Amino acid sequence: MIGERILRFGTVTSTQDVAAEMAATGFPHGGVIVAEAQTAGRGRLGRAWHSPPAGGLYLSILLRPRVEPALLPLLTLAAGLAAADSVQALAGCAADLRWPNDVLLGGRKCCGILPEMAATADTARVKHVILGIGLNVNQREFPPALAAEATSLAMVSGQEIPLDTALALLLENLETRYNQFVGEPSLLPPEFESRSSFARNRWVLVENGGSRFTGVTEGLDSAGFLRVRRDDTGIIEPVLAGSVRPA
Ligand code: BTN
């Protein structure tokens, strides 16, 4: 069960690194690493995750799903939905989802999720997934480079929230959504779509490594990929990775 084992640390490089070490020593499915601060917190697409002490929740969850790697985009959506469920309940207002799993309040990001997978040598099966989650809970300000894009639950709700309250709710919602991923994964793309203002009829800029294009979103496919009708070719392209922003 997610959250049955929780290991707490002070300052670490990244909870992802600690979780990877623990995975090799038989740490159980659903085990959680939480840190007060990170010196090398990382985000998607090689970005850094600002992780000072106080205010932020930094955690990594070890998952051992018995599935093929091709199903993992749906796990990413499930994690985004769990985070959005939690943010909404804690902040007391509607949260938006930006594919694949950023949670936004008032158009600014308050939660990011980094799934890192280890596969078997033949790549046919998932060995484990480490789901890293950074949730901005009680920060009242961000460094200038992030200020226009980031927000916290406290900045939106005007109230401080104990980090342990946020952690407990997040883990409970993750357990629920993980069970949905295992039992009824086909429900995840339509639900994500209904909770995301980015999923349909949004003109977006898609960036992935060297590739960059604009287009209009046309929902998610059954594998969890975002369908974008490219402005340049008029063809729908399933976006498998990368960042999606308003164009
Ligand atoms: C993103 O939006 O780019 C994903 C951010 C993920 C940040 C979290 S904080 C806890 C865990 N440890 C890390 O180094 N990264 C994730």
H/E stretch holding 157 reads helix 153-157
d(CA 132, CA 124): 23
Name the nearest CA neighbour of 73 among 180, 188, 201.
188
Distance in angstroms (rounded) separating the CA atoms of residues 89 and 137? 13
63 CA from centroid of ligand 1 (Å): 16
pTM, 2 dp: 0.96
The span from the CA of 25 to the CA of 31, in Å, is: 12
**Ligand 1 nearest-atom number relative to CA 40:** 14
16 lines ligand 1 (CB under 6 A): yes
Q: How far is the CA of 234 from the centre of ligand 1 (A)?
A: 34
**Alpha-carbon distances, residue 136 vs 11, 129, 199 (angstroms):** 17, 23, 24
CA 123 – CA 118 distance, rounded (Å): 9
pLDDT tens-place values along the chain, 247 residues long: 999 999 999 999 999 999 999 999 989 999 999 999 999 999 998 899 999 998 999 999 999 999 989 999 999 999 999 999 999 999 999 999 999 999 999 999 999 999 999 988 888 889 999 999 999 999 999 999 999 999 999 999 999 999 999 999 999 999 999 999 999 999 999 999 999 999 999 999 999 888 899 999 999 999 999 999 999 999 999 998 889 999 9
Which pLDDT score is estimated for 124?
Answer: 83
Distance 232 CA to ligand 1 centre (A): 33
Cα separation, 42 vs 115, whole angstroms: 11
Rounded Cα distance between 33 and 17, Å, is 10
Atom index in ligand 1 nearest the CA of residue 16 equals: 12
- Cβ(226)–Cβ(244) under 8 Å? yes
Q: What is the DSSP string of 98-147?
A: ETTTEEEETTEEEEEEEEEEEE-TTSSSEEEEEEEEEEE-S-S---HHHH
| Separation CA 61–CA 188 (nearest Å) | 20
- Show Cβ contacts of residue 61 under 8 Å, excluding neighbours closer than 6 positions: 2, 19, 30, 31, 32, 33, 130, 131, 133, 171, 174
pLDDT value of position 120: 83
The rounded Å distance from CA 94 to ligand 1 centre is: 22
Report the pLDDT value the prediction gives residue 208, as an integer from 0 to 100.
Answer: 86
Tell me whether residue 210 is exposed, middle or buried, using C-beta atoms within 10 angstroms of its C-beta: 0 to 12, 13 to 18, 19 or more.
Answer: exposed
Report which ligand 1 atom has the smallest distance to the Cα of 112.
Answer: 2
Q: Round to whole Å and give the CA distance between 199 and 201.
A: 7
